[in-house]
Amino acid sequence: MAIDRPTIEQYLASMGAAGHRICEIDASEAGAGNISICLDELPRVRQLFPISERIELPLAAPALAGRTLLVTGSGRRLRQIAENPLAAIAAVIVDADGVGAEMLSSPQRQFDALTSEFNSHLAVHDDQVGRRGLDFHAVVHAQPPHLTYLSHVPTYRDTETMNRRILRWEPESIVALRDGIGVLEFMVPGSAELMAANVQGLREHEIVLWSKHGVMARSDLSVTRAVDRVEYAETGAKYEYMNLTAGGRGEGLSTDEIRAVADAFGVTSRWVS
């Protein structure tokens, strides 16, 4: 039986909703943050994005051959996507060789180029689709303040420490973030070094923290699910920050309490031991 897929308008609306929520939690100032989704097919894309130009991809993406990516433009405010997604988003159709692509845009386009983090988006999509054969994949980059602040504290700039500290504040955290958060050292934004480390981190986790910068989250269900992961992680970091400012008086959930929640919801995670 055929499964009804979302329309292109619904995909664009979901990107708008994701951008709006990222801004609601103060995780995207001005033009910071970016969103992309990768689809195996997208009917009617040329109707909404009729302007065509050739681009060279920042890296070869053979697993994405023939696929379409909806990507935010550089400098576009995520809070404004919902108002007019055609002004903020382009469609990129990857060539059969995975090296070049056709970029489609709308006459309403208000950006000169794709997001400066496009290399990291593209690399993650290519890796996940190539390894897992996905029909859909979403990636979100945001700059949540409490998570980013904690990564400026040397003690927290470690995957083990960060997860032990921020997964202890809400019972839902171990369910929503069962793979935890991968913590990367600081690397120059948009660099090949960050791109490679990010791909590796998102193989093991569904959200990674780019120290002193922000986060990237992924989902093969929806773009808003990727934003949920950012929100859960940021909420845990906010509790941890509050506890630091209060002199460390809160105890958080114990390991036994976290394990009890995990058992109740059938969650297997390294963070319950």
The structural domains of the chain, ordered by start, are 1-138 (3.40.225.10), 144-273 (3.40.225.10)
Mean pLDDT, rounded, for 138-150: 97
Short-list 120, 114, 111, CA closest to 188:
120
Q: Identify the helix (H) or strand (E) that includes residue 184.
A: strand 182-184
> In this predicted model, what pLDDT tens digit does every residue of 40-84 receive, in sequence order?
999 999 999 999 999 999 999 999 999 999 999 999 999 999 999
Quick one: what percent of the chain has pLDDT higher than 70? 99
Q: Is the pLDDT of residue 140 over 60?
A: yes
Mean pLDDT, rounded, for 115-142: 96
- At 3, the pLDDT band (50, 70, 90 cuts) reads low
Mean pLDDT, rounded, for 21-47: 94
Q: Is the pLDDT of residue 157 over 90?
A: yes
Task: Determine contact, residues 111/75, Cβ cutoff 8 Å.
Answer: yes
Q: Identify the helix (H) or strand (E) that includes residue 132.
A: helix 118-132
Local structure of residue 135 (DSSP, 8 states): S
* pLDDT for residue 32: 87
Mean pLDDT, rounded, for 86-102: 97
Q: Is the pLDDT of residue 270 over 60?
A: yes
Local structure of residue 51 (DSSP, 8 states): E
- At 154, the pLDDT band (50, 70, 90 cuts) reads very high
Give the C-alpha separation, 202 to 255, whole Å: 25
Short-list 238, 123, 237, CA closest to 180:
237
230 burial via Cβ count (<10 Å: 0-12, 13-18, 19+): buried
Average pLDDT value over all residues in the chain: 95
> In this predicted model, what pLDDT tens digit does every residue of 176-204 receive, in sequence order?
999 999 999 999 998 999 999 999 999 99
Q: Is the pLDDT of residue 2 over 60?
A: no
